[in-house]
Structure 1
Amino acid sequence: MDIVLVAGLWLDGTAWDDVLPELEALGHRGVPITLPGQGDGATAATYDDQVAAVLAAVDAADGAPLVVGHSAACTLAWAAADRRPDAITGVALIGGFPATHETAYADFFEPEGDAVPFPGWEPFAGPDSDDMSPELKAEVAARTVPVPVGVTRGVVRWSDERRHGVPLTLVCPEFTPDQAREFIASGDVPELADATALELVDLDSGHWPMFTQPAALASLLDGATHR
């Protein structure tokens, strides 16, 4: 099965390099996306441009793909469920949640000029990055790309209620499934509260398991294709 892979802020398609052979060994073809404005050389991309890139990958897939979003890009993966509910096998979210209707996509950090650069590791100290060595942190930081403000401050809008029935797997890395259930029950994640086919799976890693646990992550994604 084709598995469309969408990394979070500051990362391009190469973030999945260690996951691709693991998926291939399990019988899948990974399709990593380098998002507009996030590694393709564009500097004026928008959130809608990134959604369009994900939908284009879904439309070009061989059969109905699984769409995987990491961190902020969980919203982009969920956009595939909203725009293509009958064309995908399901969605897997890694370490993040879809944004709420009519809120900003990822307005978490102050921009510098027209883009938001990687803020360094200090905001991610603790469970997010404890499993990363200093060498790995330096390597990942060197690969990051500033994200255009047109992306981070783009407004998310949901339109098709059928998205709530799409098979949805939430991979819980730096938080536990029980913590995720608390987030959902509290009303903080309305999109997941309304999901009718949600499964939560645990992964003992930090926020970037594609770098630290690629084989384990691939195994969970394989499981998501069989739902």
Structure 2
Amino acid sequence: MSTGKGTGTGTGAGAEAGPGADGRPPVVLVAGFWLGAWAWDEVASLLRADGLEVHAVTLPGLGSVEEDRADVHLADHVDAVVDAVRAAGRPVVLAVHSGAGVPGYAATDRVPGLVAAAVYVDSGPGNGALDPTFDGVELPLPAWDALVEDGNSIDGLTPEHLERFRARAVPQPGGVIREAPRLADDARRVVPTVVLCTSYSSEQVREAVEAGYAWVGGLAELRDVTWVDVPTGHWPMWSLPRETADVIAGAAATAARRAAP
């Protein structure tokens, strides 16, 4: 399993609100390595068309190639996710892609009562460093063959997808790759969780949990997990945006039913 199972970045936000008047929680979207809020554009549009309030996050260091990433740490990414969750003003569905599973899981540890559901999009609740041996200031987007060799399927992506990805990718801050999250609140274990399995099947992810991979380590302790298999590549927000949006919207609908009096 790869480091590229991986992360999203940025502080700010790409946040826009939709109606959300039917009791469904707002949705916070966080993409993985090399990506900002823009990576969710199509999924976010579909969710808003479905009547959901949506906030897409760009994590620190991922806003532009020009940013200084030398002092960007995992704690900064966790803070950015927590800030986005709190800014929604009520419990949210937190959907995190790839390596954003590490700060995403740490955010559910920080504010478990504000996460109505967590959705891991070809990702998992990481409870350790993705690559503690990584010693670089940043990790640029690799060549496609190297990315695939590292376990990141590009199935379903068109040449146009790949061209846009390459043009807009921002190097991943090294600190968030080598640092481990701090987890302290056992309430995170009862946050309802959906694991959307795309480039790896649910069976393969379960095997990764049993093997002790850090990027899915939290699945060994979570008590309410729903598995969804939607076979495609590692970037389903591009290859299957409708299906990805439907899984996230489904988590919001389930959260609303659970919260109903």
TM over 0.5: yes
Partner of 2:43: 19
Residues 1:222 and 2:249 are matched in the alignment: yes
1:45 equivalenced with 2:68 (yes/no): no
Q: TM-score, normalised by structure 2?
A: 0.79
Q: Which residue of 1 aligns with 2:239?
A: 212
Shift of 1:107: 5.2
Task: Say if 1:109 and 1:19 are closer, same or farther in 2 by CA, change over 3 A.
Answer: farther
Of 143, 153, 157, which residue of structure 2 is paired with 1:128? 153
Describe the SS at the equivalent of 1:128: coil
| 1:73 partner amino acid | A
Q: 1:73 to 1:108 in 2, by over 3 A?
A: farther
Residue 153 in 1 paired to residue 175 in 2?
Answer: no
1:54 aligns with 2:77: no
Q: Is the Cα–Cα contact under 8 Å of residues 132 and 178 in structure 2 kept in the other structure?
A: yes
Check 1:53–1:106 CA distance in 2 against 1; reply closer, same or farther (3 A cut). Answer: farther
Q: CA deviation at 1:151?
A: 2.3
Secondary structure, counterpart of 1:119 in structure 2: coil
Mapping 1:1-227, distance limit 5 Å: 1-39=25-63, 41-43=67-69, 44-100=71-127, 103-106=128-131, 111=136, 114-125=137-148, 128-188=153-213, 189-225=216-252, 226-227=254-255
The separation in 1 between residues aligned to 2:144 and 2:156, in whole angstroms, is: 13
Offset, 1:75: 1.2
Which residue identity lines up with residue 54 of structure 1 in the other structure? V
AA at the equivalent of 1:172: C
CA RMSD between the two structures = 1.9
- Name structure 2 gaps, 5 residues minimum: 1-24, 256-261
SS of corresponding position for 1:201:
strand
**Letter of the aligned partner of 2:91 in structure 1?**
A
- The answer to whether the Cα contact below 8 Å between 1:4 and 1:65 also exists between their aligned partners in 2 is yes
Q: CA deviation at 1:106?
A: 4.8
Identity of counterpart residues, as a percentage?
34
Query: Cα deviation per residue 1:46-87 (whole Å; 9 max; x = unaligned)?
Result: 111111010001111032111111000011211121011111
Q: Is the 8 A contact 1:9 1:72 kept in 2?
A: yes
- Displacement, 1:20? 1.1
What secondary structure sits across from 2:232 in the alignment?
Answer: coil
